[in-house]
Amino acid sequence: MNIPEISIKKILYTTDLSDSALKAFAYAVSLANRYQASITILHVIAEYADMEARISRFIGKDNMDKLRENRMKEAWETLSGKRRENVMIKEALTLLSDNASSDDEGGGFVTDEVLVVKGNPVDQILEISRERGYDLIVMGTHGHGPIEDMIGSTARKVLRRSLIPVLAVRLAG
């Protein structure tokens, strides 16, 4: 039997910024060192298309109008540079990567890029992995139990839909 050779050159590591997500990062770094691959770090700020309609039904039109007004203020603050949450997240993830790289004695991995995007986490992970030609996705899964099993986690949905291998690391519960 001929076993095909595995070549991993580009790893997409996704994080939800939880403490336990560091365990999945350790796997990504280890694999990157083993295969002399580069890592891209991705964090998706969740936005769901139907969320506004669901919230509106729940809190009523007047309260929804107030929320929209507040979101407009936040958008203006973000555009004018007064609000820099995405920048802070990106800087923190870059620092994580830099520290891991300097702590790594082999120094075998390189961080290609740190991405912070908004949208549906599953859709963004799959789209970015396809567009940029990654060989592997590394992500954590919380595995909270029967409720999550019915609804389906981000990791589970990515596993089902991904065209490339996905390493789902069970995170500390």
CATH number at residue 130: 3.40.50.620
> 42: domain range?
10-47+84-170
4-53 pLDDT, tens digit per residue, is: 899 999 999 999 887 668 889 999 999 999 999 999 999 998 876 566 67
Torsion of CA 89, 94, 95, 99, to 10 degrees: 140
> How far apart, in Å, are the Cα atoms of 139 and each of 24, 36, 88, 169?
6, 19, 21, 6
pLDDT of residue 89: 78
| Predicted TM-score of the model (pTM) | 0.75
Please count the structural domains in the chain. Answer: 1
Average pLDDT of the chain?
80
The average pLDDT across 144-151 equals: 50
Task: Kindly provide the residue ranges of all beta strands, DSSP E only, lying in 37-164, ordered along the sequence.
Answer: 38-46, 110-119, 136-141
Asked if the structure places residue 65 within a domain, the reply is no
Asked if the structure places residue 67 within a domain, the reply is no
Asked if the structure places residue 72 within a domain, the reply is no
